[in-house]
C-alpha cells in the first residue's frame, strides 16, 4: 500500500523536462538572454553581460517551474557552429530564435537562418518564438517592424524562387506560410531583463499544452535522447 501511495504521489508531483533551443546569429544576445533567465529563475545568478564572451559550443541552463523543468541550450551562432544546430532538432520541444533588432545590417542574414530553422521538417511542428532583442536601444526595430521586415524578406524570397517552385515545394511553402501567419514575436531586452519572463511563460505554456496532453510526443522524444546518449561513438 505504501509503495502504491508513494508511486501515486510521485506520479502526481512528477515534473516533465522539456528541452528548449535558443538559436540566432552570433551577437544576437542568446547567451545574455540565457544568463538573464538563470538570474531570474534560479538561486545562482547568471553571468553579468560584461563577463559574457563569444560562445564556443553551447551553454545550458535548467530552471524548475512548479510543474515542469525547462532545459535551455544556447547554441553558438557563428557560421561553423550553426552547421551542427540540426543535430539538436530531433530532441527539442521548443525553439526561441533571437534576432538583434538593433542591427539592421545583419537582419537579412538573420532571416535566412531563421527561415531555414522555421522550415526544417523537424521544427515545423514545434513551438517557435521569435524574440526581437535589444529593445532597450533607441535604434532597435519594434516588434511590429521586425515582423514586417521578416514578412517582406520572405515575400522577396518567394518572388525569386517562384519559377522553380514545383508541387512538393508548394506544399512546404504552405506549411511555412501558415507558420509565418501565426508566428509570435515578442520584444525583449536580454540585458535589462524586460520581456524575459513573458518569453519564458510563452515557452512554458506552449510546451505544456503541446506535450502534456500528448504524452506520446514526450516519450518519443525522450527515447530519442536516450538512444542518442547511448549511441556508440562513430
Ligand atoms: N543593448 C543591448 N545589448 C545586448 C542585449 N543583449 C545582448 N547584448 C549585447 O550584444 C552582444 C552579444 O551578446 P551575446 O549574448 O554574447 O550574443 P550571442 O552571440 O547571441 O550569445 C554583447 O555585447 C551583449 O552585451 C540587449 O538586450 N540590449
Ligand atoms: Mg553566445
Residue nearest to atom 8 of ligand 1 (CA): 29
CA of 139 to the centre of ligand 1 (A): 15
Q: Does 79 fall in a domain?
A: yes
Q: What is the pLDDT of residue 217?
A: 58
Q: What is the pLDDT, as a whole number, of residue 3?
A: 80
- Say how far apart CA 181 and CA 177 lie, in whole Å: 6
Residue 230 has pLDDT above 50, yes or no: no
| Atom 7 in ligand 1: residue holding the nearest Cα | 29
Mean pLDDT score of the chain: 86
Percent of the chain beyond pLDDT 90? Answer: 55
Measured between alpha carbons, how far is 115 from 124 in angstroms, rounded to an integer?
11
Query: From the alpha carbon of 28, which atom of ligand 1 is closest?
Result: 20
User: For residues 13, 226, 95 and 64, what is the CA-based torsion angle, rounded to 10 degrees?
Assistant: 30
- How much of the chain exceeds pLDDT 70, in percent? 85
Residue nearest to atom 2 of ligand 1 (CA): 134
Looking at residue 210, what is its pLDDT? 83
Which residue, among 39, 35, 74, 17, has the nearest Cα to 225 in the 3D structure? 17
* CA distances for 105 relative to 22, 30, 57, 133, 150, angstroms: 21, 18, 25, 15, 14
pLDDT of residue 80: 79
| Contact assessment for residue 93 and residue 207, using Cβ atoms and an 8 Å cutoff | yes
Q: Would 2 be classed as within a structural domain?
A: no
Least confident of 55-59, 65-69, 145-149, 164-168: 164-168
Largest CA distance in the chain: 69
CB of residue 77 inside a 6 A radius of ligand 1:
yes
- 137 belongs to a structural domain: yes
Q: Is 81 in the pocket of ligand 1 (CB under 6 A)?
A: no
Handedness of CA 233, 117, 142, 70 (dihedral sign): negative
What confidence tier does 199 reach under pLDDT thresholds 50, 70, 90?
very high
pLDDT at position 227, please?
Answer: 41
Q: Binding site: what residues are annotated?
A: 24-31, 55, 77, 133-136
Question: Is the pLDDT at 222 greater than 50, yes or no?
Answer: no
Taking the C-alpha atoms of residue 25 and residue 110, their distance in angstroms, rounded to an integer, is 6
Region 5-16 average pLDDT? 75
pLDDT digits (tens, 9 = 90+) for 120-131: 999 988 999 999
pLDDT of 39 reads 97
| Whether residue 59 has pLDDT greater than 50 | yes
Write the residue with the smallest CA distance to atom 9 of ligand 1: 29
From 4-13, 42-51, 213-222, the region with the lowest mean pLDDT: 213-222
pLDDT higher at 228 or 178: 178
Q: Which domain holds residue 73?
A: 15-218
Cα(143) to centroid(ligand 2), Å: 22
Q: How many CB atoms lie within 10 A of CB 107?
A: 19
Number of domains within the chain: 1
Q: Using the predicted structure, report yes or no on whether residue 1 has a pLDDT greater than 60.
A: yes
Q: What is the pLDDT of residues 64-110, one digit of tens each?
A: 998 899 999 999 878 878 888 989 999 999 999 999 999 999 999 99
Going by the annotation, the residues of the binding site for Mg(2+) are: 31, 55
Name the residue of 23, 25, 26, 29 whose CB sits within 8 Å of the most ligand 1 atoms, as the mutation to test its pocket.
29
Residue 179 within a domain: yes
Annotated binding-site positions for GTP = 24-31, 77, 133-136
- Is there a domain that residue 122 lies in? yes
Q: Is the pLDDT of residue 224 over 80?
A: no
Question: Ligand 1 test: best mutation among 54, 188, 190, most atoms within 8 Å of CB?
Answer: 190
Instruction: Give 106's DSSP letter.
Output: G
Residue with CA nearest ligand 1 atom 11: 27
Mark out the alpha helices in 105-232 (DSSP H runs). Answer: 107-118, 143-161, 167-181, 196-207, 215-230
Q: What is the pLDDT of residues 147-157, one digit of tens each?
A: 999 999 999 98
What spacing in Å lies between the alpha carbon of 28 and ligand 1's midpoint? 6
What is the domain-level CATH number for residue 122? 3.40.50.300
Residue at 10 is within a domain: no
113: Cβ contacts below 8 Å, ≥ 6 apart: 23, 24, 25, 82
Amino acid at each position: 500500500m505504501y509503495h502504491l501511495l508513494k508511486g501515486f504521489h510521485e506520479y502526481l508531483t512528477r515534473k516533465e523536462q522539456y528541452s528548449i533551443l535558443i538559436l540566432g546569429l552570433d551577437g544576437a544576445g542568446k547567451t545574455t538572454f540565457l544568463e538573464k533567465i538563470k538570474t531570474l529563475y534560479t538561486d545562482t545568478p547568471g553571468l553579468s553581460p560584461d563577463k559574457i564572451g563569444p560562445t564556443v559550443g553551447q551553454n545550458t541552463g535548467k530552471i524548475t517551474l512548479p510543474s515542469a523543468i525547462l532545459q535551455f541550450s544556447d547554441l553558438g551562432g557563428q557560421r561553423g557552429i550553426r552547421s551542427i544546430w540540426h543535430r539538436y532538432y530531433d530532441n527539442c520541444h521548443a525553439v526561441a530564435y533571437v534576432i538583434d533588432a538593433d542591427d539592421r545590417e545583419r537582419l537579412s542574414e538573420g532571416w535566412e537562418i531563421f527561415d531555414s530553422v522555421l522550415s526544417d521538417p523537424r521544427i515545423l511542428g514545434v513551438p517557435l518564438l521569435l524574440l526581437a532583442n535589444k529593445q532597450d536601444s533607441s535604434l532597435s526595430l519594434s516588434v511590429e517592424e521586425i515582423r514586417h521586415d521578416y514578412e517582406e524578406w520572405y515575400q522577396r524570397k518567394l518572388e525569386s524562387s517562384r519559377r522553380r517552385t514545383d508541387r512538393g515545394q508548394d506544399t512546404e511553402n504552405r506549411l511555412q506560410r501558415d507558420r509565418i501567419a501565426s508566428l509570435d514575436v515578442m520584444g525583449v531586452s536580454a540585458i535589462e531583463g524586460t520581456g524575459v519572463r513573458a518569453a519564458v511563460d510563452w515557452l512554458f505554456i506552449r510546451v505544456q499544452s503541446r506535450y502534456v496532453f500528448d504524452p506520446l510526443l514526450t516519450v518519443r522524444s525522450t527515447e530519442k535522447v536516450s538512444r542518442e546518449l547511448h549511441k556508440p561513438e562513430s
